[in-house]
Structure 1
């Protein structure tokens, strides 16, 4: 972050030229990373998206909360609930799937 006059200049990873190289940006707190999660679309073969995908053109402005349920070693379910919806219906949900053959988990031996 830089201060220029009275304005703050913030650098964001999703801005062109600011995408970190995953092999040189390890995160000790995250337990590693899988640098090749994006296999299709505008981010194919990249660590960061360089444009907004067509399917995400709608922006929801309502408030709410999200719940992440870890189902097993490879699957997690993200559910978004909007506060104004009746009957506790989900406003959005997506399964996050880890591909074990592409993103290996290294076991630690003490």
Structure 2
């Protein structure tokens, strides 16, 4: 089984016995928790990183394709976008990042190319 394979800086995937599972990185600030009270003279607690399960896709090539497309669009919608050109740019940048991540894990004889 795969476990927390990084797709982009904010998204990873893992598998269970039937699914690809998309994980999203969240940064948690303990000082913003309800009931948090600062201790005088003490350092505030450090930010924490956690990975939440946010989507499930079937453990098939079609499921993996849908997962990658979903991550590309999620990254775009997580960004500050004010025009269609910005959207296209973010999707292109995310696609390049995903391709680099995939290629880094492949043997030297194989690589992924867009539009091939």
TM range (shorter): under 0.3
Which structure shows the higher helix fraction?
2
TM-score, normalization: structure 2? 0.21
TM-score, normalization: structure 1? 0.22
Which fold has the larger relative contact order, with Cα–Cα distance below 8 Å and residues 6 or more apart in sequence? Answer: 2
